[in-house]
């Protein structure tokens, strides 16, 4: 049984009440399938013809990279879409495999039905466009960080972005150093070393997961 209260909190249905979501889904002709842990949900081309939303459990979108290695693209939790930007991409050369990590249920809407839904409901259209546009923006930003030659530059750019968003010189960064190192594409001890250097030069102070920006001008020079 589908709980439309819950589904209506999905980003794709943001701004719609549960009844509307129920109506929309029924005209769109959806399916719900259930999977055991480790089961394959979609293999290669299937995945590109359906909009898929996780309803329960947790799934991984995996991709074969150029060397033939499986890499995890994303882990998706309930009410988020699985690889939304793949649905309408021109060439789907990448085999995207989707597997369940836990006992999972997934909502499927066929591409043609979903297209009709987008044309029928402006809110869903806006939501979907926002989701894939934001993803694009996120990727662009990540490329900016990775583009910096030095670790110090990456850190400075990252902190200045957070500063811009949080509007506060005391930043709460709720990720571990390891995760930050992975995001910036560097080794964890290297990150720690550079953070220490930046403390010494007085551009910032760190207390646990709080990063306190002490010299914005200096950070801006370093993020070049």
Partner DNA sequence: ATATTTATGTAACATTTGTTACATTTGCAA
Partner DNA sequence: TTGCAAATGTAACAAATGTTACATAAATAT
Residue ranges in contact with a copy of itself by CB under 8 A: 65-69, 73, 85-91, 93-94, 115, 118-120, 122, 125-126, 129-130, 132-137, 139-140, 142-144, 146-147, 156-157, 160-161, 164-165, 185, 219-224
Give the residue with the Cβ less far from a copy of itself, 43 or 71: 71
**Minimum distance, C-beta of residue 40 to DNA, in the bound complex (Å):** 28
221 binds DNA (CB under 7 A): no
Half-sphere exposure at residue 220, Cβ-oriented, CA atoms within 13 angstroms: 5
Distance of alpha carbon 139 from alpha carbon 123, whole angstroms = 24
What residues does 110 pair with on adjacent strands? 50
The residue ranges of DSSP E strands in 13-129, in sequence order, are: 30-35, 40-42, 50-56, 59-64, 70-76, 96-100, 104-110
Give the residue with the Cβ less far from DNA, 98 or 191: 191
The CB density around residue 122, as the number of other CB atoms within 10 Å, is: 10
Q: Out of DNA, a copy of itself, none, which partner does residue 5 contact, by CB within 5 to 8 A per kind?
A: none
Give the residue with the Cβ less far from DNA, 126 or 196: 196
Give the residue with the Cβ less far from a copy of itself, 55 or 61: 61
136 binds DNA (CB under 7 A): no
Q: What are the helix (H) ranges across 29-175?
A: 111-120, 122-147, 151-166
> Coil, strand, or helix at residue 97?
strand
What residues does 100 pair with on adjacent strands? 59
Site string for DNA, 153-182 (x = CB under 7 A): -----------------------xxx----
> Coil, strand, or helix at residue 49?
coil
186 binds DNA (CB under 7 A): yes
């Amino acid at each position: 049984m589908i709980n439309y209260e819950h589904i209506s909190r999905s980003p794709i249905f943001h701004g719609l009440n549960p009844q509307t979501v129920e109506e929309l889904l029924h005209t769109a002709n959806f399916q719900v399938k259930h999977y055991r842990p480790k089961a394959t949900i979609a293999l290669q081309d299937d995945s590109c013809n359906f909009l898929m939303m996780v309803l329960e459990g947790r799934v991984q979108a995996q991709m074969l990279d150029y060397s033939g290695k499986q890499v995890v693209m994303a882990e998706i939790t309930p009410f988020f879409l699985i690889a939304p930007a793949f649905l309408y991409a021109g060439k789907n050369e990448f085999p995207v495999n989707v597997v369940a990590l836990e006992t999972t249920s997934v909502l499927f809407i066929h591409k043609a039905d979903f297209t009709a839904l987008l044309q029928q409901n402006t809110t869903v259209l806006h939501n979907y466009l926002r989701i894939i546009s934001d993803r694009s923006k996120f990727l662009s930003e990540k490329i900016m960080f990775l583009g910096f030659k030095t670790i110090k530059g990456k850190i400075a750019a990252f902190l200045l972005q957070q500063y811009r968003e949080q509007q506060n010189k005391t930043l709460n960064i709720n990720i571990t150093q390891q995760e930050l190192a992975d995001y910036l594409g560097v080794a964890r001890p290297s990150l720690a070393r550079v953070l220490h250097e930046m403390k010494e030069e007085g551009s910032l102070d760190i207390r646990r997961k709080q990063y306190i920006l002490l010299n914005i001008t200096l950070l801006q020079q370093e993020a070049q």
